[in-house]
């Protein structure tokens, strides 16, 4: 994203612009007031025609309501911001050791792995995904927009809902790119 005409921007957004950081690389803790403020500021600038958005930032601003508030069960809540279900972020036990749930990591029998709770049985499962044996020369091509679109189409990413499948996590890999040491361009393949 970049400014296309003179506009007053916060110090926080100025940092993002200078460092060429996407909204998905928001420097603030996800869920904090400053995190949401960043999206609202960019949305206002986009509506005023003062900022040019790349493909990924455009998705957040034009196709989601992240940063906006709505009423749910009598409470004011953030829209388009996933709130984990109870126990989803808790530590769990897998084969006698404490593990973090839904937090992908590098390694294992494939390039990445994640521990998640099977909603049918309630048991914790380890899901390995990515190329076998780390993939060798197979790279995750997050910077190539055409490769991302082809991957999403080939793997039907929009319809992957089962957290116990490797496909679900492969399709959501860009969301965890920074934590996995991958170059990040956005929060989704498609």
63-87 average pLDDT score: 76
Report pLDDT digits (tens) over 149-178: 888 888 888 888 888 998 888 888 877 777
Residue 140 has pLDDT above 80, yes or no: no
With cut-offs at 50, 70 and 90, classify the pLDDT of residue 138.
Answer: low
58-87 average pLDDT score: 77
26-30, 123-127, 160-164: the lowest-pLDDT one = 26-30
Q: Whole-angstrom Cα distance, residue 124 to residue 118?
A: 6
Q: What's residue 41's pLDDT?
A: 92
Q: What's residue 134's pLDDT?
A: 56
Residue 110 has pLDDT above 80, yes or no: yes
Report pLDDT digits (tens) over 85-106: 444 445 677 788 888 888 888 8
Q: Whole-angstrom Cα distance, residue 144 to residue 122?
A: 38
Assign 50 to helix, strand or coil.
coil
Q: Whole-angstrom Cα distance, residue 91 to residue 25?
A: 25
Backbone CA torsion sign across 91, 86, 184, 108: positive
Q: What's residue 80's pLDDT?
A: 79
What six digits make up the tokens of 55? 């493909």
Name the burial class of residue 188, with classes exposed (0-12), middle (13-18) and buried (19+) by CB atoms within 10 angstroms of its CB.
middle
Residue appearing with tokens 């996800």 = 30
Assign 143 to helix, strand or coil.
coil
Alpha-carbon radius of gyration of the chain: 18
Q: How many CB atoms lie under 10 A from the CB of residue 88? A: 14
């Amino acid at each position: 994203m970049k400014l296309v005409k003179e506009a007053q921007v916060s110090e926080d957004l100025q940092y993002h612009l200078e460092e060429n950081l996407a909204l998905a690389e928001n420097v603030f803790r996800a869920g904090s007031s400053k995190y949401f403020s960043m999206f609202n500021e960019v949305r206002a600038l986009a509506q005023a025609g003062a900022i040019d958005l790349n493909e990924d930032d455009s998705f957040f601003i034009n196709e989601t309501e992240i940063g906006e508030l709505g009423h749910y069960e009598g409470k004011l809540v953030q829209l388009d911001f996933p709130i984990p279900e109870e126990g989803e972020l808790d530590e769990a036990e897998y084969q006698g050791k404490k593990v973090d749930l839904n937090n992908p990591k590098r390694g294992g029998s494939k390039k990445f792995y994640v521990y998640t709770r099977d909603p049918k049985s309630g048991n914790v499962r380890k899901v390995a995904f990515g190329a076998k044996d780390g993939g060798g020369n197979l790279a995750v091509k997050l910077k190539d927009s055409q490769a991302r679109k082809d991957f999403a189409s080939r793997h039907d990413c929009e319809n992957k809902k089962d957290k116990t499948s490797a496909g679900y996590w492969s399709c959501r890999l860009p969301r965890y790119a920074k934590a996995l040491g991958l170059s990040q361009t956005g929060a989704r393949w498609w």
